[in-house]
Amino acid sequence: MNPVHGPAAQSESSRPGPPGRKPPMKVLVVDDSALVREVMKTVLSREGGMDVVVAPDGLIAEQEIQARRPDVIVLDLEMPRMDGLTLLRRIMETDPIPVVICSGLGTKGSRAALEALAEGAVEVVAKPRVGVREFLQESATMLIDSVRAAAIARVRTKPRAVGGAPVPAPPRAGDHGPAPRRAATRLVAIAASTGGPQALETILTALPAGAPGIVIVQHMPAGFTAAFAERLNAACRLEVKEAASGDLVMDGRVLLAPGGRHLSLRRTPAGCEVLVEDGPLVSRHRPSANLLFHSVARSMGANALGIILSGIGDDGVDGLLEMRIAGAVTLAQSQASCAVFGMPGEAIARGAAEQTVELADIPAALLRWSAGAEQGGSRAA
């Protein structure tokens, strides 16, 4: 890495906190838009406890990383001289640092953001619209939470073969044809946040086409979940789609909550259908896992399996506890396999999760529960 300009000439740094206190979190914001850099620096610095440096492109960012290794990088993808994906891959190959992707909306931006998650980024946030200096409070909350989650996340780099090439994903096994569809009489509800996209891909790609219906809340901004559902649908034997109001929960189908909208369930004569709606943040999130889990407890009772995966905070914990009280089986991802053990840890501490399971073992646990439910209500998972 050869610097081409001095860091002081090309970057701006917020003033560190007073001496004697816990050292501030060092955050590097990399974006070619001066306005976006200004907005993000202002939002993060105002939160307190963060020392924010900005860089206009990947080359200057590399220089900043050498000069003062950051705790978290907030990274734009489309930049001149060196794009964000190139910088991300170089970071992950040389000195992995938690990276939050800041991506524009639209098909190109969302697909690039998902590729970045596959390359080792831990979170994705939507880029604030250029020309709007007042960063909406909800967006500021999501940015701050994402940076704080990234700071404690376990960075998982993409496996690479000899010579540095990525190890290709194994091909899907078994019959890829459509499975018979029927309205679900039992279902699986899953909550995930930081580290969730990778965990969800691990679980869903291991399930057969006839697995029970699944509903998911993954904390992700509006505009990204449609591309995420498409990516999963291409990799899975199950049908995976972004949920729309009126969709029935069916065996062999996965419904993913749209980013920026809440997902809940209701019973109808035809079966259990989903409701997608706007509303205020619940547990600091929209979609909220708590809202989904509460509705599952009311609508499905003991005919449900609740799973809480990697993520910061406690969204989903209260709802998972209600599911357990209603008779559902409830699981939490193990600490060793989590990127962030916040949500699963809280679920265990509060008694909401009755079992802790390694990520790699969750598909088998899900199928054991499903087989037991088919045979008369066994609680085995």
Is 162 within the bounds of a domain? no
- pLDDT confidence band for 258 (50 / 70 / 90): very high
Is 260 within the bounds of a domain? yes
- Which residue is catalytic, options 219, 262, 285, 294? 219
Structure-block tokens of residue 70: 């950051």
Whether residue 129 is found in the same domain as residue 246: no
Final residue belonging to a domain, choices 107, 136, 152: 152
Do you find a cis peptide bond into 96, omega within 30 degrees of 0?
A: no
pLDDT for 132 equals 52
- pLDDT confidence band for 139 (50 / 70 / 90): confident
**Polymer length of the chain:** 381
Whether residue 64 is found in the same domain as residue 128: yes
Dist CA 120 CA 95 (whole Å): 12
Structure-block tokens of residue 95: 């000195």
Whether residue 117 is found in the same domain as residue 15: yes
Whether residue 145 is found in the same domain as residue 244: no
- Whether the per-residue pLDDT at 40 is higher than 70: the answer is yes
Residue 204 belongs to domain with CATH number? 3.40.50.180
pLDDT for 21 equals 61
186: how many CB neighbours lie within 10 A of its CB? 21
- Whether the per-residue pLDDT at 158 is higher than 80: the answer is no
Q: What is the bridge-based pairing of β-strands 25-30 and 72-76?
A: parallel
Whether residue 53 is found in the same domain as residue 120: yes
Whether residue 199 is found in the same domain as residue 141: no
Span 185-239, pLDDT tens digits: 999 999 999 999 999 999 999 999 999 999 999 999 888 999 999 999 999 999 9
Whether residue 338 is found in the same domain as residue 208: yes
75: how many CB neighbours lie within 10 A of its CB? 27
Asked whether the beta carbons of 114 and 259 are under 8 A apart, the reply is no
- Angle at which helix 34-47 crosses helix 137-152, to 10 degrees, equals 70
- Whether the per-residue pLDDT at 16 is higher than 50: the answer is no
Asked whether the beta carbons of 36 and 62 are under 8 A apart, the reply is no
Is 168 within the bounds of a domain? no
- Which residue is catalytic, options 315, 334, 337, 370? 315
- Whether the per-residue pLDDT at 168 is higher than 70: the answer is no
Dist CA 285 CA 221 (whole Å): 10
285 is catalytic: no
Span 345-359, pLDDT tens digits: 999 999 999 999 999
Span 17-31, pLDDT tens digits: 455 567 899 999 999
Asked whether the beta carbons of 218 and 196 are under 8 A apart, the reply is yes
Domain interval for residue 22:
7-152
Is 284 within the bounds of a domain? yes
Span 169-183, pLDDT tens digits: 444 443 445 555 688
- Whether the per-residue pLDDT at 73 is higher than 70: the answer is yes
Span 261-300, pLDDT tens digits: 999 999 999 989 999 999 998 988 999 999 999 999 999 9
Name the percent of the chain lying above pLDDT 90. 68
Residue 68 belongs to domain with CATH number? 3.40.50.2300
370 is catalytic: no
pLDDT for 30 equals 96
| Cβ-Cβ contacts under 8 Å for 41 (sequence gap 6 or more) | 12, 14, 29, 52, 54
Is 159 within the bounds of a domain? no
| Cβ-Cβ contacts under 8 Å for 240 (sequence gap 6 or more) | 204, 229, 230, 232, 233, 253, 254, 256
Is 231 within the bounds of a domain? yes
- pLDDT confidence band for 156 (50 / 70 / 90): confident
Is 165 within the bounds of a domain? no
DSSP annotation of 160:
B
Whether residue 203 is found in the same domain as residue 342: yes
Whether residue 117 is found in the same domain as residue 204: no
The mean predicted confidence, pLDDT, of the chain is 86
In the chain, alpha helices (H): 7-10, 34-47, 58-67, 84-94, 107-119, 137-152, 196-204, 225-235, 289-300, 317-325, 342-349, 362-374
193 is catalytic: yes
Whether residue 204 is found in the same domain as residue 92: no
Is 140 within the bounds of a domain? yes
Whether residue 148 is found in the same domain as residue 246: no
Closest CA to 84 of 124, 49, 53, 48: 124
Whether residue 208 is found in the same domain as residue 350: yes
- Which residue is catalytic, options 11, 103, 193, 337? 193
163: how many CB neighbours lie within 10 A of its CB? 5
Domain count, the chain: 2
